[in-house]
Structure 1
Amino acid sequence: MSTAVTLLSLGGTIFMTEDAAGGARPDDGAGERLLATTGGEVELTALPLANTSSSDVRPHHLRTVLEHARAAVDGGADGVVLTHGTDTLEETAFVLGRYWDREAPLVVTGAMRPASDLGADGPANLRDAVRTAAAPSARELGVLVVFDGHAHLADQVTKASSRSVSAFASTPSGPLAIVEQQDLRLLHRPLPRAALLPGAPPDRFPAVPLLTAGLDEDLSLLDHLPAEELRGLVVAGVGMGHVSPVAMPRLRRVLGAGVPVVVAARTAHGGTSTHHYSYPGSEVDLLAAGAVMSGLLPAPKARLLLQALLADGASADSIRGAFAAFAS
């Protein structure tokens, strides 16, 4: 019995070629050449959805991806692959993971080098993504990111390098698996998936600012963002999720107006705490004021989760519970 995989595409470097001046540009013919590199291991159906830079991917693109991916699986596909630019690939994978409600895997991949480059990584990444989409061990794992021979969980993966072909890493557990020809070689067993949201993202998410704490940063921008106009706020805090004591009155004003505030850790590893420090501006002070700590979720993903929850009309308790699934 043959294995069937549907390939969806939003474009990205994987479908670009380099011009004489050294700049990368979209190449509509790159898709056909890439398909030939999968080696005929599975029955592959390709469906281009868009050809856009990942910095311009919007929630409506992801609605379309989910619509076609669900239809493909319901129609008999064993899995789905999505090609995507790498700049926001981790964010797209994370958002799709909030809604992907099928047992079949949805695998996101891309490339760091254009298709015309002598060291192009797109062909190998696409081959490995197709293998992962067909892999028995990938079922029920949700959305995966495949890059440089490894499979990563969407909730943990992050782009760790702006140049290396080994651009993606996972925190805190490392990659989930090594991609082999017939199946995945799992390196660890993942925790149960976080609760899903119903349906699909809206065409646009509610606007949620992301502010970064740091030396001599008192979040004074909040003085120019009236609380009544904010739907939510994410702060990338220093250390385990801390802000300057001078910022606390501003955050209390926002929280007092009923605006959910999520605090993430600015550091790459470790996440936020709930109990280590109790000085003004610490995680204990922020929690007492009503803020939510993002746990292991980095600030960009925390922002997307809050936006998705707000779009779904989540209550304050539901928001707190959703982030509790990522507690560190």
Structure 2
Amino acid sequence: MTSSSAPSAAVTLLTLGGTIFMTQDAPGGHAAPDDDAAARLMGTLVDGVVLTPHEIANVSSSDVRQHHLRAVLERARRAVDEGADGVVLTHGTDTLEESAFLLQRFWDREAPLVVTGAMRPASAPGADGPANLRDAVAVAASPTARGLGVLAVVDGQVHLADQVTKTSSRAISAFASEPSSPVGMVDGADVRVLHRGPGRDAPRPGTLPDHLPRVPTLMAGLDDDLDLLDHLPADAIAGLVIAGVGMGHVSPAAMPRLRRLLRAGVPVVVATRIGSGGTSTHHYAYPGSEVDLLDAGATMAGFLPPAKARLLLQVLLTDGATREEIREAFAAHAS
């Protein structure tokens, strides 16, 4: 408990590690996971909140696996069912938006599940982890955050899982919401919800599968005809995501390769490699444009970036979704 006064809320803290629980071997030196960093952060939390910590793992975000997130989901559900007002998950920032997005597909409680991390190690001057953790606990304990699903809280801002995106590999203010703005802000223990977003997809029943289907992502670019697909048998993958140029375009020479996959029954989703604006369905009709891709049977990702489009397609394929069901699911994220 963080205060001598009567507690006002109970929050469960689940930890997966990340920079927030790393220290440097010397000032300005290499950062690595530190099992003692979590204990040192516990003194920075919100007064009046009973915090119950539970370590899932202490790994970098590049090493987060399906079994980690499955454990997070099951433990978070149990915590809420046993009386927690909310749950906080610490996570490395590199794949934080992906884990938040995937957890959102299955999070079926009114209580918020709040993901946070840090850009600076716990031992660095100006470490942002203590403030981010304090803010995340405040959001998890706040009645105003109920019903918003999975949230990301970083640098005093509250982001919806479906919209949060990492925009800088270095800055403290590394996250933004696309295409909207953050849904809230945190000022000490004061959590202000500015809007409640476009609404949530119905959560899926059950828990995360042990493994997701194999769905690679290819980036389109200048003088790139996706000729790598010539060496990729259709039966080697369950689906494909293209990070297209502009509003979701590929070169005309890439189209026969994509049509081959589509005719073989491989779902192809086209996102954009551009950070904002999303894909289109109607602006251009030249060979390789969004209209040509749609006519061939591809699905446009809308505002979902390639990494989230991949996760959504994998979840849909796990459910045995048809091509039409895949299009309908992505239409909810369309521009």
> Normalized against structure 1, the TM-score is what?
0.98
Structure 2 unaligned segments of length 5 or more: list them: 1-6
Aligned-partner SS, 2:295: helix
Match of residue 17, structure 2, among 11, 36, 47: 11
Q: Identify the residue that residue 328 of structure 2 maps to in structure 1.
A: 321
Q: Residue 246 of structure 1: CA displacement?
A: 0.2
Report the Cα distance in structure 1 between the residues aligned to 2:235 and 2:14, rounded to whole angstroms: 40
Aligned-partner SS, 2:14: strand
Q: Are residue 152 (structure 1) and residue 148 (structure 2) matched?
A: no
Q: Are residue 49 (structure 1) and residue 56 (structure 2) matched?
A: yes
Q: Are residue 86 (structure 1) and residue 93 (structure 2) matched?
A: yes
Aligned-partner SS, 1:51: strand
CA contact (8 A) 1:109 1:147 kept: yes
Identity %: 70
Q: AA paired with 1:31?
A: A
Q: AA paired with 1:246?
A: A
Q: Residue 66 of structure 1: CA displacement?
A: 0.3
Report the Cα distance in structure 2 between the residues aligned to 1:216 and 1:197, rounded to whole angstroms: 40
Report the Cα distance in structure 2 between the residues aligned to 1:284 and 1:315, rounded to whole angstroms: 21
Q: Are residue 266 (structure 1) and residue 278 (structure 2) matched?
A: no
Structure 1 unaligned segments of length 5 or more: list them: none
Give the alignment's Cα RMSD to 1 decimal: 1.1
CA contact (8 A) 2:316 2:326 kept: yes
1:229-240 to 2 correspondence within 5 Å? Answer: 229-240=236-247
Match of residue 99, structure 1, among 97, 106, 112: 106
CA contact (8 A) 1:234 1:264 kept: yes
Match of residue 108, structure 1, among 112, 115, 125: 115
CA contact (8 A) 1:238 1:266 kept: yes
Describe the superposition over 1:256-275 as per-residue Cα deviations: whole angstroms up to 9, x where unpaired: 00110000011111100000
Which deviates further from its counterpart, 95-104 or 185-194? 185-194
Q: Residue 25 of structure 1: CA displacement?
A: 1.4
Q: AA paired with 1:250?
A: R
CA contact (8 A) 2:87 2:114 kept: yes
Aligned-partner SS, 2:225: coil
Describe the superposition over 1:214-238 as per-residue Cα deviations: whole angstroms up to 9, x where unpaired: 1011011111111122200000111
Q: Residue 184 of structure 1: CA displacement?
A: 2.3
Report the Cα distance in structure 1 between the residues aligned to 2:68 and 2:159, rounded to whole angstroms: 22
CA contact (8 A) 1:58 1:204 kept: no
Describe the superposition over 1:158-201 as per-residue Cα deviations: whole angstroms up to 9, x where unpaired: 11111111111111112111113444212233111123222222
Report the Cα distance in structure 2 between the residues aligned to 1:200 and 1:220, rounded to whole angstroms: 37
Match of residue 196, structure 2, among 177, 186, 189: 189
Q: AA paired with 1:144?
A: L
Report the Cα distance in structure 2 between the residues aligned to 1:30 and 1:229, rounded to whole angstroms: 43
Aligned-partner SS, 1:6: strand
Report the Cα distance in structure 1 between the residues aligned to 2:151 and 2:203, rounded to whole angstroms: 15
Q: Identify the residue that residue 163 of structure 1 maps to in structure 2.
A: 170
Q: Identify the residue that residue 129 of structure 1 maps to in structure 2.
A: 136
CA contact (8 A) 1:9 1:84 kept: yes
Equivalent pairs counted in the alignment come to: 328
Q: Are residue 143 (structure 1) and residue 150 (structure 2) matched?
A: yes
Match of residue 118, structure 1, among 118, 125, 141: 125
Q: Identify the residue that residue 36 of structure 2 maps to in structure 1.
A: 29
Aligned-partner SS, 1:50: strand
CA contact (8 A) 1:209 1:233 kept: yes
Report the Cα distance in structure 1 between the residues aligned to 2:16 and 2:189, rounded to whole angstroms: 27
CA contact (8 A) 2:46 2:138 kept: no
Aligned-partner SS, 1:184: strand
Q: 1:119 to 1:283 in 2, by over 3 A?
A: same
